[in-house]
Chain A
């Protein structure tokens, strides 16, 4: 399989805490994307980090990429109950014709 796995599979935290999710992949990449999925809804794109970038920020989101370890992490700071969702990383296949998703991390934020 091209795509690795996110870990942890599930994460439960209190509002205000930070949440960190990790993603590993197996092949060389052009970019890596993170998506969020609220229960019963479609995926929403959060952030894209290119292979020549090491870190990227968007609001309370911080994504890092380590191409030498073939891994990425998504940090959500000062989490809110509304951040409760599943989070997926995705990379393109070698031909650039498909996006392959990991198994995701389910985040629960309680108030």
Chain B
């Protein structure tokens, strides 16, 4: 069964550095999402992406964050200048018809900011 893959599985970065989290969504999916989960807490929506543009972003997704689909397969989340509070699990998800159908999640990238 096709799956969403995320790399790296764990990223350790110094505060203030830029990080890029990578995702390969399921190939025929058109809708892409990033979520964040701080340890032990709920899964929080960050951003949704469709037709090469952002559909929705949450208040968490400030100017330090950006997303890109640089080619036909990758979907990236960039944090320009990381803060300690950015430490979390970041999950990528994709679906073929948006939120009205199940979303398929990757296993996440654990981001640790030192």
Contacts and interface: CB of A to CB of B under 8 A. Distances in A.
Contacts of B100: 30-31, 92, 96
B33 A44 contact: no
Interface stretch (B13-21, B42-50, B68-76, B77-85): B42-50
Contacts of B44: 101
Contacts of A97: 48, 55-56, 98-99
B102 A96 contact: no
B56 A42 contact: no
A49 to B, nearest CB: 12
A98 B56 contact: yes
Interface residues of A, number: 25
Interface in A76-111: 88, 92-93, 95-104
Contacts of B29: none
Given A42-B93, A95-B56, A99-B99, 12 more contacts: A35-B105, A41-B107, A43-B105, A97-B48, A98-B56, A99-B33, A99-B103, A100-B45, A101-B43, A101-B45, A104-B42, A104-B43
19 contacts: A30-B100, A31-B100, A42-B107, A43-B91, A44-B105, A45-B102, A48-B102, A93-B56, A93-B99, A97-B48, A97-B55, A98-B48, A98-B55, A98-B56, A98-B58, A101-B44, A101-B45, A103-B41, A104-B42
